[in-house]
C-alpha cells in the first residue's frame, strides 16, 4: 500500500533537473527516438529527452539552462583506441621537428621548462627534421650537398635550465644535446675523458659544448634518466583530460600500462577524472586478471575492465603488416607475425597445431574475458576470423564481441565471414586519410579495395566503432579530435580534399552512421551500450554541443567543426 502511494506521486511530480539543454537539434543516436529539441539532466543521468515545451516542467530555480540556439547536441564521443600515456608525452613534451634555429629552439625549450614539474628531464625533441625533409625534396644535387644542420649549444639554454636536465636528440638520433645540468649528472666534464663509445664535442679550452655523438650516447643516458615521477604523470594526464574535454571525448579505451590505470584510479578518487576509461590488460596475463575476478562487466562506469589485448602482426608504415602475397613495392616482403603467435602447440593428441595466441585466447575467452587483437594485413585479419570459427567450436557461440583491432586490410572473400560472428571492427578512420596517399603503391589497387573498407565492414554485420589511435608519432600525429575521424569516414579524402570523390568512395559511411560508430558502437564494444552511447532517458549524461550541424553542413567542413560545450557525468566540464 505504502509503495503504491510513492509510485503514484512520482508520476505526478516531475523530478527537477539540475541541467536542461533546450532549443537544440538533439541527434540522440537512439533509433526509437532519433530527434529531439531538449534534454534534462538530474545528477549524472539523462531524465528527459523531448520537446522544448515538455522540458519546462523539469525546470525550477536551481536548474542551469543552456539555450543551444538550434545547435547540434550529440552523445559524448567514445574513442575506441587511445594510447593515453604516449599521448601525455607527445602533448606535453618537447617537439622540435620544425626547429633548426637558435631563437625558436630557445623558446620551445623554455615553454616546456616552464610547464614541467621541477627537476623532470626534458627529452625527445628531434630537431631539424623538416630541414632535412625539405632539402631532400629539392633536388638530387641538394641531397648530395651536405646539409649544414643546426647545432644547439649549452649556453643557449643554461641560463634558465640551471636545475633542469635537458637531454635531446636530432631527428636522425645521430647527434645529441645535453645542457650543463644533464652533463653534470652524467659525469661528463672538462677534466674527464669521454665515456666509452661517446664523442664529447669540446671548445678550445676542453669544455663540453653540449653536443654528443657516438653509438653509446642513448644507452648511457637511458641508464641515468629516471622514470617520470608520479606527480609529473598525473599532471600530464590532467593536461590530456583537458584536451579530451575540448574535443568532446567523454569515454575512451586506453591501451597503456598498469601505471596509467593506477593514475586513472587516483584521479577518479580525487574527483578529477573527466573521461570514462575502458582499460585493457594483456592477453598473456589473462590468468592473473581471472584470479582477481576480472571479466566482462568488471569495474564501474568510470573505469571499466574485463578486456585483454594482443598484437599479431606489424603496421603498414614499415611494411610489417602480414599479407598473403608480397608487398607490391617489395616482392620479398610479406610482413611479420608477432612473438605471441609462437610457439605453435600441438593439441588433441598432436593432430592440430595451435598458435600460442590462440591457446591463450581460448583460455581467456572461457574465463569470460573479452579479447581484442591488433591485425593490419589481410593474412592477419583472416587468421583471426579462422580463430573465431574455432573459438565458436571450442567454447560455444556466445556474445563475446571479439574486438578486431584496426581491421585494416580485409580480403574480399572474408567480408561475408563477419556475419553473425559478434565481431567488433575497432577502426580508426583517420588512418585512411593519412595512408591513402601511399597505400596503392604498397599493396596495389586490388588489395586496396579492402583497405579501411568501412562500408563493407558495416554491411557485413560487423559492429564498426571509431576512435583515433592517438597519438601516432610526432611526425605523423593521430589527433584526439573526433571530427577528423568523422571527416575521414564520411569523405574518404585527405585534409586538403583529395581525391575529389574520395578514395574508393563506395566505402564511405553516412554522417549518421559515422556518429553512431563514434558513440553508441564504441559503447557496445565495451558492453556498455545500456548505460551510455545515446541520448536516452536513464543513460549517463555525457553530452556535447557542436558549433555546426554535422547532419546539414557540407562534408568538407566537418573537419573544422568545434565543440562548444562538453557535459560529463551531468556536469559542464568545457565551454568554448
**Site residues for Zn ion per CB under 5 A:** 469
The nearest distance, CB 427 to Zn ion, in angstroms, is 11
The nearest distance, CB 279 to Zn ion, in angstroms, is 14
DSSP percent split of the chain into helix, strand, coil, nearest 5: 35, 25, 40
As a whole number of angstroms, the distance between CA 257 and CA 46 comes to 33
Q: Which is nearer to Zn ion, 236 or 469 (CB)?
A: 469
The nearest distance, CB 309 to Zn ion, in angstroms, is 9
**DSSP conformation class of 248:** T
Mapping DSSP onto H, E and C, the string for 259-308 reads HHHHHHHHHHHCCCCCCEEEECEEHHHHHHHHHCCCCCCCECCCEECCEE
Whether cis (ω within 30° of 0) applies to the bond prior to 178 is no
Q: Which is nearer to Zn ion, 405 or 489 (CB)?
A: 405
The nearest distance, CB 472 to Zn ion, in angstroms, is 9
Strand order in the sheet with 543-546: 35-36, 25-27, 72-75, 543-546, 563-568, 571-575
The nearest distance, CB 430 to Zn ion, in angstroms, is 12
Residue of 375, 421, 374 whose CA lies nearest to 280: 374
Contacts of 480 (CB under 8 A, 6+ apart): 79, 82, 87, 240, 243, 244, 247, 249, 468, 470
For the chain, the maximum distance between any two Cα atoms, rounded to a whole number of angstroms, is 97
The nearest distance, CB 575 to Zn ion, in angstroms, is 31
Contacts of 410 (CB under 8 A, 6+ apart): 378, 381, 450, 453, 456, 457
Q: Which is nearer to Zn ion, 435 or 469 (CB)?
A: 469
The answer to whether 167 touches 123, Cβ cutoff 8 Å, is yes
Q: Which is nearer to Zn ion, 58 or 478 (CB)?
A: 478
Residue 445 neighbours by CB distance under 10 Å:
10
The answer to whether 393 touches 330, Cβ cutoff 8 Å, is no
Q: Which is nearer to Zn ion, 30 or 469 (CB)?
A: 469
| Cα 208 to Cα 79, 83, 218, 219, 563, distances in angstroms | 47, 38, 17, 19, 49
Q: Which is nearer to Zn ion, 469 or 542 (CB)?
A: 469
As a whole number of angstroms, the distance between CA 114 and CA 94 comes to 12
Q: Which is nearer to Zn ion, 20 or 380 (CB)?
A: 380
Q: Which is nearer to Zn ion, 82 or 489 (CB)?
A: 82
Residue 167 belongs to what H/E stretch?
Answer: strand 166-170
Q: Which is nearer to Zn ion, 49 or 90 (CB)?
A: 90
Question: Could you tell me whether strands 208-213 and 249-254 are parallel, antiparallel, or unpaired per DSSP bridges?
Answer: unpaired
Calculate the CA dihedral of residues 176, 180, 184, 186 and round it to 10 degrees.
-10
The nearest distance, CB 174 to Zn ion, in angstroms, is 28
The nearest distance, CB 81 to Zn ion, in angstroms, is 5
Residue 400 neighbours by CB distance under 10 Å:
21
Q: Which is nearer to Zn ion, 87 or 123 (CB)?
A: 87
CB burial class (10 A; 0-12, 13-18, 19+) of residue 163?
exposed
| Cα 327 to Cα 76, 201, 315, 447, 460, distances in angstroms | 40, 43, 12, 10, 26
Residue facing Zn ion at closest CB distance: 469
Q: Which is nearer to Zn ion, 77 or 574 (CB)?
A: 77
The nearest distance, CB 315 to Zn ion, in angstroms, is 9
The nearest distance, CB 255 to Zn ion, in angstroms, is 6
The nearest distance, CB 467 to Zn ion, in angstroms, is 9
As a whole number of angstroms, the distance between CA 58 and CA 42 comes to 9
Q: Which is nearer to Zn ion, 313 or 469 (CB)?
A: 469
Amino acid at each position: 500500500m505504502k509503495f503504491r502511494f510513492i509510485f503514484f506521486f512520482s508520476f505526478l511530480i516531475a523530478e527537477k533537473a539540475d541541467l536542461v539543454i533546450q532549443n537544440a537539434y538533439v541527434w540522440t543516436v537512439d533509433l526509437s527516438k532519433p530527434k529531439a529539441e531538449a534534454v534534462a539532466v538530474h545528477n549524472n543521468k539523462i531524465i528527459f529527452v523531448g520537446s522544448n515545451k515538455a522540458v519546462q516542467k523539469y525546470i525550477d530555480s536551481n536548474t542551469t539552462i543552456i539555450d543551444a540556439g538550434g545547435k547540434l547536441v550529440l552523445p559524448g564521443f567514445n574513442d575506441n583506441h587511445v594510447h593515453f600515456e604516449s599521448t601525455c608525452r607527445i602533448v606535453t613534451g618537447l617537439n622540435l621537428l620544425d626547429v633548426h634555429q637558435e631563437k625558436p629552439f630557445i623558446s620551445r625549450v623554455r615553454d616546456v621548462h616552464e610547464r614541467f614539474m621541477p627537476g623532470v628531464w626534458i627529452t625527445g625533441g628531434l630537431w631539424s627534421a623538416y630541414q632535412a625533409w625539405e632539402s631532400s625534396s629539392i633536388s638530387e644535387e641538394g641531397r648530395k650537398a651536405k646539409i649544414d644542420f643546426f647545432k644547439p649549444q649549452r649556453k643557449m639554454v643554461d641560463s634558465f635550465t640551471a636545475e633542469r636536465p635537458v637531454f635531446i636528440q636530432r631527428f636522425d638520433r645521430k647527434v645529441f644535446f645535453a645542457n650543463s645540468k644533464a652533463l653534470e649528472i652524467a659525469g661528463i666534464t672538462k677534466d674527464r675523458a669521454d665515456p666509452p663509445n661517446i664523442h664529447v664535442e669540446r671548445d678550445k679550452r676542453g669544455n663540453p659544448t653540449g653536443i654528443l655523438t657516438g653509438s653509446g650516447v642513448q644507452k648511457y643516458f637511458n641508464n641515468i634518466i629516471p622514470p617520470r615521477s608520479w606527480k609529473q604523470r598525473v599532471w600530464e594526464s590532467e593536461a590530456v583530460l583537458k584536451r579530451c574535454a575540448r574535443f568532446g571525448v567523454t569515454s575512451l579505451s586506453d591501451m597503456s600500462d598498469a601505471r596509467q590505470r593506477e593514475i586513472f584510479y587516483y584521479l577518479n578518487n580525487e574527483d578529477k577524472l573527466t573521461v570514462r576509461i575502458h582499460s585493457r590488460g594483456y592477453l598473456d596475463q589473462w590468468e592473473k586478471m581471472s584470479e582477481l575476478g576480472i571479466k566482462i562487466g568488471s569495474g564501474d562506469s568510470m573505469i571499466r575492465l574485463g578486456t585483454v589485448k594482443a598484437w599479431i602482426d606489424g603496421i603498414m608504415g614499415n611494411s610489417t603488416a602480414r599479407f598473403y602475397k608480397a608487398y607490391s613495392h617489395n616482392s620479398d616482403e610479406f610482413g611479420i607475425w608477432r612473438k605471441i603467435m609462437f610457439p605453435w602447440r600441438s593439441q588433441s593428441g598432436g593432430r592440430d597445431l595451435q598458435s600460442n595466441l590462440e591457446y591463450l585466447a581460448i583460455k581467456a575467452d572461457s574465463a569470460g574475458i573479452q579479447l581484442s587483437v591488433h591485425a593490419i594485413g589481410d593474412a592477419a585479419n583472416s587468421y583471426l576470423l579462422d580463430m573465431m570459427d574455432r573459438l565458436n567450436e571450442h567454447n560455444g557461440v556466445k556474445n563475446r564481441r571479439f574486438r578486431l583491432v584496426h581491421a585494416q586490410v580485409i580480403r574480399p572473400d572474408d567480408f561475408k565471414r563477419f556475419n553473425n560472428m559478434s565481431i567488433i571492427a575497432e577502426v580508426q578512420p583517420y588512418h585512411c586519410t593519412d595512408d591513402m596517399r601511399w597505400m596503392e603503391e604498397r599493396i596495389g589497387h586490388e588489395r586496396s579495395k579492402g583497405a579501411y573498407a568501412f562500408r563493407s565492414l558495416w554491411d557485413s554485420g560487423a559492429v564498426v566503432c571509431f576512435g583515433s589511435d592517438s597519438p601516432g608519432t610526432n611526425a605523423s600525429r593521430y589527433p584526439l579530435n573526433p571530427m577528423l575521424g568523422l571527416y575521414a569516414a564520411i569523405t574518404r579524402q585527405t585534409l586538403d580534399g583529395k581525391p575529389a570523390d574520395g578514395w574508393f568512395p563506395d566505402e564511405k559511411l553516412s554522417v549518421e552512421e559515422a556518429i553512431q560508430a563514434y558513440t553508441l558502437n564504441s559503447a557496445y564494444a565495451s558492453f556498455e551500450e545500456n548505460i551510455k552511447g545515446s541520448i536516452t532517458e536513464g543513460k549517463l549524461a555525457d553530452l556535447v554541443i557542436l558549433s555546426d550541424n554535422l547532419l546539414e553542413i557540407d562534408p568538407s567542413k566537418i573537419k573544422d567543426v568545434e565543440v562548444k560545450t562538453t557535459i560529463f557525468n551531468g556536469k559542464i566540464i568545457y565551454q568554448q
